[in-house]
Structure 1
């Protein structure tokens, strides 16, 4: 049985979100969001994607989404 937070993460993950964004949107600490997402990934309920870095440069879109999530805190 899933917790309400896990169900919310599954709904959020219909589009790509960083763990920081999930943390901010659910108003849970980042460490809690990491554990919840990892548990869901272990059960095959969400897929994790690592950001691809082009020539060592960070993905600006990802950084903008993280900054946006942090501003919501």
Structure 2
């Protein structure tokens, strides 16, 4: 089975915090102002689909597998 598992991120900066936590290596060697500009653009682009009532959601997927011995 494959299904959506939207997971709320903490605080108003939830997406920004998630990006910094899991993608920080992508910003290595980059100026802070460039890093912040990229994150702001990502937030603007994703807000309509991943932010609801001021709460950011990670768009995780869940895969459930059942083994059958034959």
- TM-score using structure 2 length: 0.30
TM-score relative to the length of structure 1: 0.29
State the structure with bigger RCO (CA 8 A, min sep 6), 1 or 2. 2
Q: Please state which structure has a larger fraction of its residues in strand.
A: 2
Q: Which has the higher helix share?
A: 1
